């Protein structure tokens, strides 16, 4: 009995280490929350078609509260955990200057932003925002902002998993906004 309890404990420890998003709260140094919002949709509300594959497929405007003291950079990840093949990454932005309080609508594609931030590679294979385009049903899209106590030192084009690894132990605060989308006629 004692041996099987130890085996189970070891298994879950390995799972928490190998799965980047497992135990995210434990990796947050400051434990503080940031507010994140969009003028395009409310938290828990429907994302307008303009920001999806059914519209212009431009990034929505996102704004967040000021980062806590000690913040050296910010990161933003947008993904869809309801995708049939597993979580689908729609946007990765990092090394955003600490004083930044949002990103405008229609952030241009490219590896580097005007403010010096970097865009990572999405599951669409691009260094740009890729809007919701669910094959069926209503999906949830999480926009997560992170205040970090360092720069990531990642080159432009990094993946979400590379960013999560670089952020480990450096998250001072975080916030989350959720939007939903369902394609009409599906």
pLDDT of residue 186: 56
Q: What is the DSSP string of 7-37?
A: HHHHHHHHHHHHSTTTTHHHHEEEEEE--EE
Residue 57 and residue 32 in contact, taking contact as beta carbons nearer than 8 Å: no
Span 75-132, pLDDT tens digits = 999 999 999 999 999 999 999 999 999 999 999 999 999 999 999 999 999 999 999 9
Average pLDDT over residues 64-78: 97
pLDDT of 166 over the 80 cut = yes
Token pair 């926009």 in the structure block, residue: 143
Q: What is the DSSP string of 98-161?
A: TT--EE-SSPPSSSB-TTS-EE---TTSSSS------SSS-EEEEEEEEEESS---PPTT--HH
Q: What is the DSSP letter of 47?
A: P
Beta bridge partners of residue 37, listed in sequence order: 63
pLDDT of 167 over the 80 cut = yes
pLDDT of residue 30: 64
Span 11-66, pLDDT tens digits = 434 333 333 343 333 345 667 899 999 999 999 999 999 999 999 999 999 999 99
Residue 163 and residue 120 in contact, taking contact as beta carbons nearer than 8 Å: yes
β-sheet with 28-33: strand ranges across: 28-33, 171-181, 139-148, 73-80, 88-97, 118-119
Q: What is the DSSP letter of 86?
A: S
pLDDT of residue 14: 35
Could you tell me which of 174, 118, 116, 119 has the C-alpha nearest to residue 145? 174
pLDDT of 140 over the 70 cut = yes
Domains defined for the chain, CATH in brackets: 24-181 (3.90.280.10)
């Amino acid at each position: 009995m004692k041996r099987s309890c130890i085996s189970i404990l070891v298994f879950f420890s390995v799972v928490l280490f190998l799965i980047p998003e497992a135990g995210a709260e434990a990796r947050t140094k400051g434990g503080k929350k940031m507010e994140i919002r969009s003028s395009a949709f409310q938290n828990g509300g429907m994302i307008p078609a303009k920001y999806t594959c059914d519209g212009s497929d431009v990034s929505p405007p996102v704004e967040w509260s000021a980062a806590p003291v000690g913040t050296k950079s910010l990161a933003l990840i947008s993904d869809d955990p309801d995708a049939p093949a597993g979580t689908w990454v729609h946007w990765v932005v990092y090394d955003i200057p600490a004083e930044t309080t949002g990103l405008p609508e229609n952030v241009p594609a490219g590896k580097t932003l005007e403010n010096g931030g970097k865009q990572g590679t999405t599951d669409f294979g691009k260094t740009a925002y890729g809007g919701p385009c669910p094959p069926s049903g209503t999906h949830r899209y999480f926009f997560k902002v992170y205040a970090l106590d360092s720069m990531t030192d990642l080159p432009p084009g990094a993946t979400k998993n590379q960013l999560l690894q670089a952020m480990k132990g450096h998250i001072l605060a975080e916030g989350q906004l959720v939007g939903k989308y369902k394609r009409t006629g599906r």
